[in-house]
Amino acid sequence: MNRPTTDTRTPRREKILICDELSSEAVDALRARGFEPQVRLGMKEDELCEAARDAQALLVRSATKITARVIRSAPALTVVGRAGVGVDNVDVDAATAQGVVVMNAPAGNTTTTAELAIALLMALARNVVRADRCVHSGEWKRRGALLGSEITGKTLGVVGLGRIGRAVAQRGRGLDMNVLAHDPYLRGAKSPVEGVELASLDELLERSDFVTLHVPYDASTRHLISRERIARMKSGARLINCARGGLVDETALAEALASGHLRGAALDVFEQEPPPADHPLLAREDVIVTPHLGASSEEAQRNVALEIAAQVSDFLIEGVARNAVNLPPVSSHTLAQIAPYVLLAEKLGSYLAQALERPLATLELSLSGEIARAENGHVKLALLVGALRQGCDTPLNFVNAPKLAAERGLTLVERADEAPQYLHSLVKVRAVDRAGNSALIAGSVFGREPRIVRIDEHHLDLAPRGVVLTTRHDDQPGVVGALGAVLGAHGVNIQRIELGPGASADDRLARGFLALYDTPSAACLEALARIPALRALRVIHL
């Protein structure tokens, strides 16, 4: 990245608060643009709320949490910059509602994370870590017990072909490995990496000697490598996870290693970090564990720090938002006006992506009322972001959402709609998946609060946040009581219930929409499924 030229004009008045340790070169880059950043490290939430009160920009890595309370305490705040990819430590919804742009630095750690995955693969193949321990402990004659494997000619399975997955696949090909890859959004398409064969997840697991994970963590990918999928893996295979904790059922993995079904594993991430001292994988010699080092290289930390410093500077000086995860490049005035509709559209897209079984093929968007007359291009982009976020490990923002939608075969169509008779604005979306199934959802904004007002043929009133349990059940007495009894027995509190009859006189299946305070456990869902009148249920995370 080129260093910015020195700005000799009057020093800028915007306050930039750096909350986590960044490269000194990034601080110098901000100063070269006329800023005088303040560095305050290790602040608790109360201290951060006070320090951010007059800040226009906050720069963080992963340690500092930018909560809704912090955002509300900073009325002058316009941008939060995250030096890295994930923004789990930033309340993006709260930032969006307040008109604050959240940026990340997506490109800086691709190479570093990909190289760590390859390093762990090599270490597993040749028992490097076990051999090192032996020599350090004074043992030398264990070469037979440390017999390794060549990787040349072996099959590498790459789960997820985003930026990092593609980099790993390319390096696997360079090591003369046969590379399989699975990405649900590339089904039927040509592989973006030359020489890499696309396959279903089950086929990849059955054929691969090494499996490496490069997908995001969300409700749909939790325990993606489940007990059942581990059983499908090739006997003697090895598993590598440098992506996100929670993708692997760690208990099932420990059992597969103990039984000899799998030959080894390397984990840079855990479902609970740090893992407890009695974690079953920590005591195993055939498991390599590292403390979340995916982005921990000198080059990556320098690159992401310089990247975010340049982006925040450009936004404060020119109003240009690059790599914004929540908002397009618009003026602060417009942003404040349309922010609730942006949040609403993203939630509608997220609902539809989770409500349908297959990846989405078409989104039909209808806007009416005031929002139809406003600068609504941001609403369209937000809808795409929400729909694409499920199962997408590529850093997703309003700039790259149209390109990613095109790559995944998702088309956005705008439909004309009459102004609603009872609402001043309405955002309505009909989705069709690749199997031809469809779903419809609509929402509006009351004051500045987004609400879902329609799902398919059912008119309702739901806040688009948290956990929503949807049901199809026999239209008969006692169903709501049975649902409440099971949820209550598992400690899940119901926030709101909306019910509706079948779509027609011939449809005897009613619909239920239950806003919950907590996510039901697997045991709870199994108990719900045993309710005789229940025909289908689905958990939607908004």
CATH, residue 516: 3.30.70.260
Which residues sit opposite 29 in a β-bridge?
none
pLDDT of residue 333: 65
As a whole number of angstroms, the distance between CA 112 and CA 102 comes to 23
DSSP string, 156-168: EEEE--SHHHHHH
pLDDT of residue 143: 65
CB 18 within 8 A of CB 40: yes
CB 166 within 8 A of CB 107: no
- Assess whether 123 and 194 both reside in one domain: yes
CB 515 within 8 A of CB 457: no
- Assess whether 102 and 117 both reside in one domain: no
Strand, helix or coil for residue 270: coil
CB 156 within 8 A of CB 178: yes
Alpha helical stretches, state H, 186-226? 201-207
- Assess whether 529 and 409 both reside in one domain: no
Residue carrying structure tokens 């760590």: 116
Query: Which two structure tokens, joined as six digits, stand for 403?
Result: 């390109």
- Assess whether 119 and 253 both reside in one domain: yes
Strand order in the sheet with 509-516: 494-500, 509-516, 467-474, 534-541
Neighbour-count burial for 299-316, b at 16+ CB within 10 Å, e otherwise: ebbbbbbbbbbbbbbbbb
CA-only gyration radius of the chain, Å: 25
What Cα–Cα distance (Å) separates residue 234 from each residue in 122, 242, 368? 18, 20, 54
- Assess whether 251 and 396 both reside in one domain: no
Query: Which two structure tokens, joined as six digits, stand for 261?
Result: 């079904």
Domain containing 301 — which CATH number?
3.40.50.720
- Assess whether 426 and 343 both reside in one domain: yes
CA torsion sign for 254, 267, 166, 384 is positive
At 415, give phi and psi (nearest 5°). -115, 145
- Domain span at residue 376? 329-464
pLDDT of residue 3: 42
As a whole number of angstroms, the distance between CA 241 and CA 158 comes to 10
Strand, helix or coil for residue 93: helix
Q: Report pTM.
A: 0.64
CB 224 within 8 A of CB 204: no
pLDDT of residue 444: 93
- Rounded to 5°, angle at Cα 183 from 163 and 435: 135
Question: If we measure between CA atoms, which residue out of 76, 37, 29, 93 comes closest to residue 60?
Answer: 37
For strands 509-516 and 494-500, give the pairing.
Answer: antiparallel
Which residues sit opposite 429 in a β-bridge?
365, 441
- Assess whether 457 and 519 both reside in one domain: no
Residues designated as active site = 244, 273, 292
At 344, give phi and psi (nearest 5°). -60, -50
Helix and strand element counts for the chain (H, E) = 17, 22
- Assess whether 416 and 540 both reside in one domain: no
Residue carrying structure tokens 């592989």: 191
CB 29 within 8 A of CB 58: no
- Assess whether 474 and 518 both reside in one domain: yes
CB 1 within 8 A of CB 307: yes
Q: Where a domain ends, among 464, 492, 508?
A: 464
- Assess whether 237 and 367 both reside in one domain: no
Q: Where a domain ends, among 267, 289, 311?
A: 289
CB 270 within 8 A of CB 296: no
Q: Where are the beta strands (DSSP E) in 73-135?
A: 79-82, 101-104
Q: Where a domain ends, among 443, 464, 485?
A: 464
pLDDT of residue 507: 67
- Assess whether 57 and 121 both reside in one domain: no
CA torsion sign for 48, 31, 336, 431 is negative
CB 5 within 8 A of CB 32: yes
Question: If we measure between CA atoms, which residue out of 420, 426, 430 comes closest to residue 376?
Answer: 426
- Assess whether 155 and 238 both reside in one domain: yes
CB 77 within 8 A of CB 56: yes
As a whole number of angstroms, the distance between CA 388 and CA 311 comes to 24
CB 353 within 8 A of CB 389: yes
Per-residue pLDDT of the chain (542 residues; tens, 9 = 90+): 344 444 444 577 889 999 999 999 999 999 999 999 999 999 999 999 999 999 999 999 988 999 999 999 999 999 999 998 778 899 988 887 777 889 998 777 889 999 999 999 999 999 999 988 888 988 886 667 788 899 999 999 999 998 899 999 999 999 999 999 999 877 667 888 999 999 999 999 999 999 999 998 877 889 999 999 999 999 999 999 999 899 999 999 999 999 999 999 999 999 998 999 999 999 999 999 999 888 888 888 899 999 999 999 998 998 778 888 876 555 556 667 788 998 999 999 999 999 998 899 999 999 988 888 877 888 999 999 999 987 676 657 675 778 788 888 899 998 876 555 566 789 999 999 999 999 999 999 998 899 999 999 889 999 999 999 999 999 889 999 999 999 999 999 999 999 888 766 566 789 999 999 999 999 999 999 999 999 999 999 98
Name the strand (E) or helix (H) holding 509.
Answer: strand 509-516
DSSP string, 308-339: HHHHHHHHHHH---SSBSS--S--HHHHHHHH
Query: Which two structure tokens, joined as six digits, stand for 278?
Result: 């009695």
As a whole number of angstroms, the distance between CA 244 and CA 222 comes to 10
Question: If we measure between CA atoms, which residue out of 380, 378, 356, 353 comes closest to residue 366?
Answer: 380
Q: Could you give the number of structural domains in the chain?
A: 4
